Structure 1
Amino acid sequence: MPNQVVIALGSNIEKEKNLPRAIELLREMCAVTAVSPIYETEPVGLLNQPNFWNTAVLIQTDLTASQIKQQIIGTIETRLQRVRLPDKNAPRTIDADIVLFNDAVLEYDGGDGRSRPIPDPDLAKFPHVAVPVADLLPNFPHPETGEPLGQLAERLMAEVVIEYGRSPLTAVAENVPD
């Protein structure tokens, strides 16, 4: 049975071109079963940069998390000319992260010797990750906490709205622009 994997995508350099292209490349390399709406979000960390477009994509694959990172995400980042700068929050053509891998809690090697956790810790921290993922799997329990992803996203959104007085996300499109 294939693995059910959620990949979060974000872009703030030519985002109108790069985010749809990343989804197109995913469709060429694996079975894409669902794509969340696209949201425009303010940057986190390094604030003086353009807003991001974020989405989440549900794929089915027989690949391991390490293979997805190296073969699929690595290819997308190369094709879209992702440049890694010392500040991990710097502007980028594409950012792609494995957020969920089935209901597993694990660590995997991304091919650079760094261990990465699944579920991605950002899922429980940031609305720009949680909301698109919850759009795909609202009733799916977070693998570590058991909290349904829809509730997790609502809670994070409410916390940010209380803190900043406004929503951190604006829906851009229900579907990926052609």
Structure 2
Amino acid sequence: MKTAYVAIGSNIDPFDSIAMALRDLEEKFKITAVSGFYLNQAVGTSEGQHEFLNGVIRLETSLDAYDLKYKVLREIEQKFGRQDGGHKHDERKLDLDLILYGSSVVETELMHLPHPEILTRDFVYVPLLEIVPGLVHPKAGSLLSELITADTRTMKRYRLGKTSYKI
């Protein structure tokens, strides 16, 4: 079994969408940790988009990284209306990103692990550090907390309960 970390986000009915997605993921995997969820402004888009709700989960899987990302996570996103070929920063009911897969470092045309946005997006690294504070970044070889310099005290945190995934 491998430990994988998945960033989960939504800005269309985000609380309900994420709660439903967590239930779907729990049917397929053993979820061993769920971070708090944080509201933040949409990134890389024009004005007027709704805020995103983002968090990170840790799960155990026997799937390889490619199958986890492109077969299971993508299938769940499509169930929530993901349209392939759209802009990566469009509004969406659900966005699932494989951000870490064990200590694997993968750089191919289709996959980058660890996900490059771990170091630049507070809505990724804050919830990640919440569930694994001593994380060593697989590529950098340093503690993730030592690689981050941004101030994140203004992020608004929400907790989704483990059993019901309701706020």
Superposed pair shares fold, TM > 0.5: yes
1:82 aligned partner? 82
CA shift for structure 1 position 152: 3.8
* Structure 2 counterpart SS, 1:115: coil
Corresponding residue to 2:119 among 96, 121, 124: 124
2:102 aligned partner? 102
CA shift for structure 1 position 47: 4.2
What aligned pairs does 1:118-157 form with structure 2 within 5 A after superposition? 118-153=113-148, 155-156=149-150
The 10-residue stretch of structure 1 (99-108 or 55-64) with the greater mean CA deviation from structure 2: 99-108
If the length of structure 1 is used for normalisation, what is the TM-score? 0.84
1:177 aligned partner? 166
Letter in 1 for 2:14: K
Letter in 2 for 1:14: D
Identify unmatched segments of 5+ residues in structure 2.
Answer: none
- Asked if the contact 1:140/1:149 (under 8 Å) is kept, the reply is yes
Letter in 1 for 2:94: I
2:27 aligned partner? 28
1:111 aligned partner? none
Aligned-pair identity (%)? 27
Please provide the CA RMSD for this pair.
Answer: 1.9
Deviations 1:46-96 (A, max 9, x none): 142000000101000110011101232022112212234632111011110
CA shift for structure 1 position 170: 1.0
The structure with more helix, counted as a fraction of residues: 1
CA shift for structure 1 position 127: 0.4
* Structure 1 counterpart SS, 2:111: strand
CA shift for structure 1 position 174: 5.5
If the length of structure 2 is used for normalisation, what is the TM-score? 0.89
Runs of 4+ in structure 1 off by over 4 angstroms are none
The 10-residue stretch of structure 1 (95-104 or 77-86) with the greater mean CA deviation from structure 2: 77-86
Identify unmatched segments of 5+ residues in structure 1.
Answer: 109-113
Letter in 2 for 1:58: R
* Structure 2 counterpart SS, 1:78: helix
Q: How many residues align?
A: 163
Structure 1 Cα separation of the partners of residues 158 and 84 of structure 2: 26
* Structure 1 counterpart SS, 2:136: coil
- Asked if the contact 2:35/2:159 (under 8 Å) is kept, the reply is no
